[in-house]
Amino acid sequence: MVRTNASGLRRDLELLDVLAEHGVVGVMRVAELVGREKTQVSRALASLAEEGLVERDQDTLGYRLGWRLYALAARTGEARLVATAGPYLRRLVSQIHETAHLCVLRGGDVLTLLSESPSHAFRGVGWEGISVAVPTTSAGRVLISDWEPAVIRDWFTPERLAAAGAVRFGDTDALLEEIARIRAHGYATVDEEFEVGVVGCSAPVRDFRGRVVAAINVAAPKGRLGDKLDAAGRLTAKIAVELSARLVTR
């Protein structure tokens, strides 16, 4: 039984490999590429589609890799991020003496994966696992800072900005101007936009392709960090660059 299950898994992985290499592929072509009968391949792909591992294109009726594979890959990347980022966040905290967070995009929101705090941490509640709207935070703006302008316009219409409480941006053009500033300076800042009395800064963490995969964020009371916010942003950007380099070599 073990050998049979393992053999079935290998056959399924073979189908996934074909889709990964060729994109959207019809059943007959998949069968040709793997050297199996069309009916067997059709049944196997249908089963994989039920689990979200592949999905069928409604126009061509061909199959492609499914949402669940991408979700699993994202979670794997996040686990690696958390395992690698801890020392970098702690070093940032030791220099800036404020709370630091590692954030990612998840389902259209900003999710905090990891937090490190100094002994005088001003928050009693941790932010791990809590999601917030993208445009209201410096981390969210950093996380979309490598998106194409057209994509940002599609996602963040004036109506969505208003619904998210992003009062700083009256329209999408204002958000795009902020994204341009983030790209130019290497970090983003917020001044009491997300929470009254709190300021923050964030910088991008990039993968081997140079794409933004996470943000390092610092948040603190305005009375402590407000007049040093840009200096904190530059330091956060420096630490984020070092973490990015570590992710590439690890």
Strand partners, 200: 190, 219
Give the domain range for residue 182. 70-249
Residue 102 burial class via C-beta count within 10 angstroms: exposed 0-12, middle 13-18, buried 19 and up: buried
Predicted confidence pLDDT, tens digits, the chain (250 residues): 333 455 788 889 999 999 988 888 999 999 999 999 999 999 999 999 998 889 988 888 899 988 777 666 666 667 788 889 999 999 999 999 999 999 998 877 888 888 998 876 544 445 555 567 888 899 999 999 999 999 999 888 888 888 887 777 878 999 999 999 999 999 999 998 878 899 999 999 998 889 999 999 999 999 999 999 999 999 999 999 999 999 887 6
Co-location of 125 and 46 in the same domain: no
Co-location of 83 and 198 in the same domain: yes
Co-location of 38 and 78 in the same domain: no
Co-location of 134 and 230 in the same domain: yes
Co-location of 121 and 163 in the same domain: yes
Co-location of 60 and 74 in the same domain: no
Co-location of 105 and 215 in the same domain: yes
Amino acid identity, position 120 = H
Q: What is the CATH number of the domain that holds 91?
A: 3.30.450.40
Domains contained in the chain, number? 2
Co-location of 227 and 165 in the same domain: yes
Co-location of 60 and 90 in the same domain: no
With b for 16 or more beta-carbon neighbours within 10 A and e for fewer, the 40-75 pattern comes to: ebeebbeebeeeebbbbeeeeebbbbbeebeeeeee
Co-location of 168 and 120 in the same domain: yes
Co-location of 33 and 87 in the same domain: no
Co-location of 82 and 124 in the same domain: yes
Q: What is the CATH number of the domain that holds 41?
A: 1.10.10.10
